[in-house]
Amino acid sequence: MAGMVIVGAGEAGARAAAVLREEGWDGPVTLVGGEVHPPYERPPLSKAALLAEAEPAATTVLDRERAAALGIELVLGIEAAAIDRAARTVFLADGRTLPYSRLLLATGARPRRLTLPGHDRVLYLRRFDDALALRPLLRPGTRLAIIGGGFIGLELAAAGVTRGCAVTLIEALPRILMRGVPAEIAAVIADRHRAAGIDLRTGIGIDRIEPDAVVLADGNRIAADAVIAGIGAVPETALAEAAGLAIDNGIVVDATLATADPTIFAAGDCAACAHPLYAGRRIRLEAWRNAQDQGALAARNMLGRGEAIAAVPWFWSDQYELTLQIAGLADEGRTMVARDLGDGAQLLFHLAADGRLVAASGIGPLGKIAREIRLAEMLIAQRAAPDPGALASPTVRLKTLLAA
């Protein structure tokens, strides 16, 4: 019997499989993953997995026992090789075939890789096994070079310096966190990393990587016992593209996460979704909560619900004792309003030309910003256009703006 097949056993795929059962689907559900590990969370890989004193275990989100209890077949350690859309069949690398009535592609993303001379010496972090390989390098005295000033690079740098490494972080762009993070917040994070002892180099490229050094474009050499790159991710779209599905920085899906083939959906890091909150702008998000939200939405729509995505994009990163949270898309804003929350915490509100709140960025202790960002997220979802003066004033509670 043809059932529901999910290719990609990460956060989005596992969530979709569970929601299919929660929503009453009693037919076959098969979850296919290329890793041997049951589905696990990726955010701890750059944090707890590197910092734990004891050998870490993956933070599993759907273990074999729960999968069996839900009647979900886990096919792990096997890649999906091809899709026959006419026959509604997925071919696995070991020769097996899986017929489907609906197919979800939750194939995720892979690290973007360097191609400069010496690139074969560079390490990356994406999978649990990568974290296990990196852990022994993070020890006192190791000279660690991190290439890339995005979330992963910065979290790796923080883990390295916490474990006693001498860390240099190199970013070719003029500042860290150029993608999606306001300069004001990026500056706070950069200062915190420098205060921790990290040598932060921005606005400089790399010429080559030698056995014991990274050679910069200006000829300077950064001594390094290990080099780790975190320069972004590339969506895993080869399977979809070979099946004739449209690709545009991800698998092209509409607001319901359906591809042009109504029997095939995509969710998570690999999906480029037309988002109604932003006038149908096609967005691909590499974020933990997005994978959960889209996995659940895809499952419901595989069952014919036809729901459009409504979740506000949300990002989060821990940097030492600081938490960064962003709701919405800051680059949609035309004006910015700041709110001082005290104790070094601040919020930045991003308003569109028509005054609508399209994003909010927060930095500071988790307890100071989490609730405020959540309320801002609700305002964004409401398409609210709050008074800028009220947004700026710490004495005006965001909850009152929400009620208005």
> Are 124 and 99 contained in the same domain?
no
Is residue 337, in this structure, part of any structural domain at all?
yes
Is residue 307, in this structure, part of any structural domain at all?
no
Instruction: Give residues with Cβ within 8 angstroms of 387, minimum separation 6.
Output: 401
> Are 239 and 94 contained in the same domain?
yes
76 token code pair: 């792990």
Bridge partners (DSSP) of residue 5 are 30, 103
357-364 and 345-351 beta bridge pairing: antiparallel
CA distances, 396 to each of 50, 175, 364, 371 (Å): 41, 33, 19, 14
- pLDDT reported for residue 1: 67
Is residue 308, in this structure, part of any structural domain at all?
no
How many structural domains compose the chain? 3
Written as one string, the DSSP assignment of 226-271 is EEEE---EEE--HHHHHTT--BSSSEEE-TTSB-SSTTEEE-GGGE
Is residue 314, in this structure, part of any structural domain at all?
no
Pick the closest to residue 318 from 276, 273, 272, 364 (CA basis): 364
> Are 17 and 102 contained in the same domain?
yes
Is residue 399, in this structure, part of any structural domain at all?
yes
CATH of the domain at 297: 3.50.50.60
User: 165, 198, 229 — which closes off a domain?
Assistant: 229
357-364 and 322-328 beta bridge pairing: antiparallel
> Are 160 and 224 contained in the same domain?
yes
> Are 139 and 220 contained in the same domain?
yes
User: 199, 229, 259 — which closes off a domain?
Assistant: 229
Instruction: Compute CA 65 distance to the chain's CA centroid, rounded to the nearest angstrom.
Output: 27
CATH of the domain at 382: 3.30.390.30
- pLDDT reported for residue 354: 96
Measured from the Cβ of residue 190, the count of other Cβ atoms closer than 10 Å reads: 22
> Are 102 and 241 contained in the same domain?
yes
> Are 15 and 103 contained in the same domain?
yes
Domain with 336, as residue range(s), is: 321-403
> Are 117 and 208 contained in the same domain?
yes
* Structure-token match 């005295």, residue found: 141
Measured from the Cβ of residue 87, the count of other Cβ atoms closer than 10 Å reads: 11
CA distance linking residue 397 with residue 332, whole number of Å: 24
> Are 129 and 218 contained in the same domain?
yes
φ, ψ at 375 (rounded to 5°): -65, -40
CA distance linking residue 172 with residue 380, whole number of Å: 33
> Are 210 and 120 contained in the same domain?
yes
- The residues of the chain scoring below 50 in pLDDT are none
Q: Are 268 and 186 in contact (CB under 8 A)?
A: no
User: 302, 333, 353 — which closes off a domain?
Assistant: 302
> Are 127 and 222 contained in the same domain?
yes
80-84 and 213-216 beta bridge pairing: unpaired
Is residue 253, in this structure, part of any structural domain at all?
yes
pLDDT (tens digit per residue) in 28-62:
999 999 999 999 999 999 989 999 888 899 999 99
Pick the closest to residue 391 from 346, 331, 349 (CA basis): 349
- pLDDT reported for residue 403: 78
Separate counts of helices (H) and strands (E) for the chain: 11, 25
Q: Taking CA 22 as the corner, what is the angle to CA 20 and CA 28, rounded to the nearest 5 degrees?
A: 40
Instruction: Compute CA 351 distance to the chain's CA centroid, rounded to the nearest angstrom.
Output: 24
Is residue 309, in this structure, part of any structural domain at all?
no
149 token code pair: 């000033």
Which residue type occupies 353?
A
- The alpha carbons of the chain give a radius of gyration, in whole angstroms, of 22
> Are 52 and 192 contained in the same domain?
no
Is residue 313, in this structure, part of any structural domain at all?
no
